[in-house]
Amino acid sequence: MRFLYFSEKRHDTNATPASSTAATTTTTTQSLLVVCLNIGTDPPDVVKTNPCAKFECWIDPTLLVPLKSLEAIGKNLHTQYENINGRTRFKLSLDPSVEETKKVCCQMRRNAKEERILFHYNGHGVPKPTASGEIWVFNRNYTQYIPVSLLDLQLWLGSPVIYVWDCSSAGNIINAFNRFAEQRDTEAMRLAEHNQGSLPLSAWRDCIQLAACGPTETLPMNPDLPADVFTACLTTPIEMSLRWVVMRNPLLTSNITMDMVLRLPGRATERRTPLGELNWIFTAVTDTIAWCVLQDNPELFKRLFRQDLTVASMFRNFLLAERIMRSYQCTPMSTPGLPETHDHPMWQSWDLAVDMCLFQLPALLAEEAGGPAYTYNSSTFFAEQLTAFEVWLSEGAVNPKIPEQLPIVLQVLLSQVHRLRALILLSRFLDLGPWAVNAALSVGIFPYVLKLLQSPAAELKPVLVFIWARILAVDRSCQNDLLKDHGYAYFINILTPNNAMLSIPHVSEHRAMSAFILSVFCTNFKMGQQACLRSNVIAACLAHVRDPDSLLRQWICLCLAQVWMNNSEAKAAAVAENSHEKLCALLSDSVPEVRASAMYALGTFLGDPNKTEQIVNIEHNIAISALSAMSDGSPIVRKEFVVALSHIVHQAGPAKFLAAATQTIEEDQNQRGLHLDERAKVRTRPGDWRPNGSENHFGTTSYDSVYAVMWKALLNLSVDPHPSVSKAASIVVDHINATLLKTTPLGEYASLVVRESIERSAEHGSLDRSQSFHHDEKSSSISPHRRPVKLTRSVSFASTLRTIYNFGNLSTGGLHDNNPSGSRDTLRGSSPLAQHASTLLGANSKAQGSVRQTGSDKKATEIEHGLPLSSTFYDWSCEYFTEPQMRAAESDEPGSVVYNQRKWRRSRNEMILAESNATKGRAGTSRWEEQIISVYNETEAKLLLFHQYESHLVAADAYNCMVVWDWKTGTPLSVIDNHNPLSSRITDIKFINEDDVALLLTGSDDGVVRLYKNYDGSDQEDAVLVSSWRALKDMERSSLRQSGLVCEWHQSRGILFTGGDARVIKVWDANQEMPIMDIPTQSTACVTCITSDQVNGNIIIAGFGDGLMGVYDRRLKGNESMVQRWDEHKAWIADVHLQRDGNRELVSGGLGGDIKIWDIRQTHSLRTIDAHSNVDMNALAVHDHSQVIASAGDDQIIKLWNMDGTQLSSLRSSSGFLGQRCVTRSLAFHPNLMVLATGGDDGYITLYGA
């Protein structure tokens, strides 16, 4: 497969970025623990078994007097919750009355303010909650049960709150609570809509609730369980889980007792101990279960399991409660509700981990009792889960279904043993794309990787940099986090040159990622800029401007741009480091993205409001250096140049550019011949005008100043062939023009320019258009490839003024109307600015004073507010770090759609080449008289081009349109408008990347090259402009016929040779998108055709309009490059072609009708064929792989020859109605097959075969 060109991301997206916000978090700061036990007295609606469950908070209330037992239970409950979140302030309320309950609830809300409150209710000693929404407490004397309405409780506690209901029939509370909450929210919304009352719109429905059982269920009374089994699961999950395992597994009771389970060694916070390891595994398992069941609702997962430590712990433990209590016919409930999780497969992994731990428990306890030493064997849980994750990455990552091991991977980051492996696997996962990054962020990756920035481990640096780059490419909201803990310094250290610790492979790539991270850190974040400035990031970046890695060079520029954007202090530091000079040197870099990045950085450097003479001089030097972008082949570079100039226009004010603009008016009118008496009406010279308060720091602007140069550059860019560039430049030009038209006396002067321009268009428009379309009168009414009648912006200043006022949208009739009043009427129907122009045009020439302001002011204000232009290049560049880097490209992945399509095309191409090899030998002796097909193109096909492998034939007319035909079926596939200016025409067409998905290249006589993808209209889509640029400048008007722009494409080298009405052949490199050399033609005539050696592209042969031919070797410099010159032709060279195959003969044909065969080593032709005597030869074609030449002349005869000069066939060109005769204007051979296409002046295209 050959290299493909113009297929980078910048060509697909035109450097336009595709279209994460940090959620507000609430923490639990206050906890109210309400315990209603009334020890010794059972509630009336509960009949207990004997024996029954009696432990409350792992205390037997019967062992102490009731009051002491209640206090001990309350203390234990407080301790258990404190182990969950020690930062929460707790308040115990033991057997409270209604008054006490209300008082403490209101106090809690006052203390918590807007934060969350935990309300725990143990109702084991009071009646069950009612279905109407009441829970029970006591009176002051404990003689009565007093109901408390949930409506009152909601009012006392407010929102947000997490409620824990540990009592029988707890589901009644949830149902009633939600019903009341909905009523409250509805009422609050109604009052808010009518602005009545002051009831706050609290999110009552967003309160969180955990209930022990359903509305009709009673808590389990199994004596082996605690009475508060729900609370035990929520606050002591490991102990409850171990007890439950022992209860369920009779095989364990032989050597493991319940007492032994309670003495499991270790601490929950120490992960290397048995208890700590189990707690760690439990967290990973429950996190994973929650993640799996809530993958379709990531916001709910984030709310319940990531935003609040207390809520997350409670809900993880709630999953255990559901598992245990369901085995005792209780169904815990929650708000928000969760899917069922009691039978999730991950519980089996938990059971295995518990069994492995309990298996070692006797030996561990024996060691503590003084027995033999025993080494605890850590669980293999995490290693096995990492292996499963690795398998998923290797086999299943194509399907973006988030793996269940992702939460476990994050837990593994806490372990030094598995950390590096986990980070590597995590980086591979993040490399899958933004969806993977979002998944990891949802699971909770951020705090883990933020903490790891404090690690000094060198082996973690490469993978951490990669992970952070992936995160920041998707979510830029963590600037404060990086600043708070000095995390940014981690990346500055990597970026700093000569860092001895950076003995890592691909260091430039990691430095590029570090530069990207620091650029995000500084984006719209002044404190980040200051932190980087203090750390000398500018000097660190500048040390890498000549690094061989283009990605690093690109991100060095972008990082510098973000550091000094809108920061005068940073710009001053940059000046001290000569940053601008070093970046200007990158404007000639070989990589378009680097050039665009340098231009972007320079653009952000320009426009500093703190003007000093030094700053102004530096900005002028930058602007002059940046003018090289005018000749850049990449539209993203030219667009950034426009953005950079807009900064100067915005800061310099209109005065400087208005002086340059008025000079352009005078130059324009000198050429157009504006009447002297009208010009004399404007008494004040434009250069003498200066608005109030606009004096510049350093004197007046002369006509030859840098501002004049920039103004002319903007005018040229406003007619750039690429729409994104011309649109941006037009905004800047229109801003200056609008200011000019509002200004007195310049506005009066400019109005004369506009009026004269309209009158000239009216006088000449009808004639121009009638001449352009006289040959189409006989065409049918259905004309898909007509050249549209339109006025476009031109580099002429007067035309530019007309364009801003929508004169380009005038009807043809309006243009033909020479009545000035009619023109003004048309203007009044246009935009507000057009109305303003109408006022100017209709004003009395003797009127003095200021120009009357109309609706134009609004439009002008909009234009002004659009400056400086904002660039999207930085955001587009950031998308690089969202794309896969570790995997091969999809086109290289066997089995992918793109890979299969490319493989099929390769096989198809080989079959066509094999067919060509089988037939090319006899083509030089066969008669070419078999007519294959004839199609009506409606317009004369001036140029014809076959695709090598697809059945596509492109026909370009004399103006602006191309029709793509399926030549096998005779079906038109698409019509492409080349968007040429009115006076321009297509002069050459070529295919690029024909081996794969081809692009169509067009060259026009205004020197512009355009590239289209989807040119054949596949998938019912229009052709898309991939790139365009002005390949030839300074085109000269010859006294002879004009050739326009002609080109030759060299696929294997990626080189485009362009010539035409210029004194040079310009050589463009497709990878660099810039000219790499100019070859002097050493001729005063225009270049009419170019061909090259397709092996290495070093030899170029050009034909000229005076009949000369030159052979050039591009390895030689300057005038030495011409190695051969022939002058045997005496007229215009119609075509010159060096065969790609066969004997590689060089064939040329002149307008005089002679065809010559050459050996470039000889000074004379090998033979001459007198193809068309006494008539002009209109077209010549040479087959690339066969010894066949075709020619067509004004004698209406097409002749075919072999290289020996033997005539093979003579075809009378006829087509259309009754086979009428026509003159053939274009010829083209199929590059591989023995097929010839001919285009006649009657609009028909006919194909012949051998």
Handedness of CA 350, 356, 362, 365 (dihedral sign): negative
Which residue carries 């064929």 as its tokens?
Answer: 1169
Radius of gyration for the alpha carbons in the chain, expressed in angstroms and rounded: 41
Residue 200 backbone phi and psi in degrees, to 5: -70, 150
In a domain, 1023, yes or no: yes
Per-residue pLDDT, 703: 37
Whether residues 663 and 764 share a domain: the answer is yes
Whether residues 230 and 242 share a domain: the answer is no
Domain boundary among 867, 898, 926: 867
Q: Which helix (DSSP H) or strand (DSSP E) does residue 35 occupy?
A: strand 28-35
* Amino acid at residue number 284: A
Whether residues 143 and 279 share a domain: the answer is no
Q: CA nearest 311: which of 278, 329, 331, 336?
A: 336
* Residue 683, Cβ density class (10 Å: 0-12 exposed, 13-18 middle, ≥19 buried): exposed
Q: CA nearest 488: which of 523, 522, 444, 459?
A: 522
Q: How many CA atoms lie within 13 A of 686 on its CB side?
A: 25
CB 351 within 8 A of CB 245: yes
What residues does 952 pair with on adjacent strands?
Answer: 966
Domain boundary among 867, 897, 932: 867
Whether residues 738 and 852 share a domain: the answer is yes
In a domain, 251, yes or no: yes
Whether residues 1135 and 1208 share a domain: the answer is yes
Q: Which two tokens stand for residue 268?
A: 């929950």
State how beta strands 1197-1202 and 1207-1212 pair.
antiparallel
Return d(Cα 1065, Cα 558) in angstroms, integer: 35
CB 953 within 8 A of CB 946: yes
Return d(Cα 426, Cα 428) in angstroms, integer: 5
Could you say which residues of the chain have pLDDT below 50? 1, 19-24, 197-201, 674-704, 761, 764-791, 798, 802, 804-864
In a domain, 383, yes or no: no
Whether residues 962 and 818 share a domain: the answer is no
In a domain, 500, yes or no: no
State how beta strands 89-94 and 28-35 pair.
parallel
How does 147-170 read in b/e, with b if 16+ C-beta sit within 10 Å? bbebbbbbbbbbbbbbbbbbbbbb
For residue 93, what are the domain limits?
Answer: 30-235
Return d(Cα 1127, Cα 970) in angstroms, integer: 42
Whether residues 230 and 240 share a domain: the answer is no
Whether residues 212 and 245 share a domain: the answer is no
Whether residues 217 and 145 share a domain: the answer is yes
Q: Which helix (DSSP H) or strand (DSSP E) does residue 116 occupy?
A: strand 116-122
In a domain, 777, yes or no: no
Return d(Cα 779, Cα 573) in angstroms, integer: 68
CB 1085 within 8 A of CB 1038: yes
Q: What is the 3-state secondary structure (H, E, C) of 214-247?
A: CCCCCCCCCCCCCCCHHHHHHHCHHHHHHHHHHH
Return d(Cα 967, Cα 135) in angstroms, integer: 85
Longest dimension (CA), the chain: 131
DSSP annotation of 460 reads G
* DSSP string over 745-775: THHHHHHHHHHHHHHHHHHHHHHHHHHHTGG
CB 1087 within 8 A of CB 1059: yes
Return d(Cα 490, Cα 535) in angstroms, integer: 11
What residues does 118 pair with on adjacent strands?
Answer: 31, 162
Domain boundary among 235, 263, 289: 235
Whether residues 230 and 247 share a domain: the answer is no
Return d(Cα 1077, Cα 1112) in angstroms, integer: 13
Domain count, the chain: 4
Per-residue pLDDT, 351: 93
Return d(Cα 323, Cα 347) in angstroms, integer: 9
In a domain, 1017, yes or no: yes
CB 716 within 8 A of CB 630: yes
pTM: 0.82
Per-residue pLDDT, 615: 87
* Residue 174, Cβ density class (10 Å: 0-12 exposed, 13-18 middle, ≥19 buried): buried
Residue 336, preceding bond cis, omega within 30 degrees? yes
Q: State whether residue 971 is helix, strand or coil.
A: strand
Which residue carries 């006289």 as its tokens?
Answer: 774
Q: What's the pLDDT tens digit per position in 267-309?
A: 888 888 999 999 999 999 999 999 999 988 888 998 999 889 9
In a domain, 851, yes or no: yes
How does 1098-1129 read in b/e, with b if 16+ C-beta sit within 10 Å? ebbbbbbbbbbbbbbbbeeeeeebbebebeeb
In a domain, 512, yes or no: no
Whether residues 962 and 1090 share a domain: the answer is yes
Report the CATH number that the domain containing residue 965 is assigned in CATH: 2.130.10.10
Q: CA nearest 1106: which of 1165, 1047, 1043?
A: 1043
Whether residues 762 and 857 share a domain: the answer is yes
Per-residue pLDDT, 638: 96
* Amino acid at residue number 500: A
Per-residue pLDDT, 831: 35
Which residue carries 């209604």 as its tokens?
Answer: 98
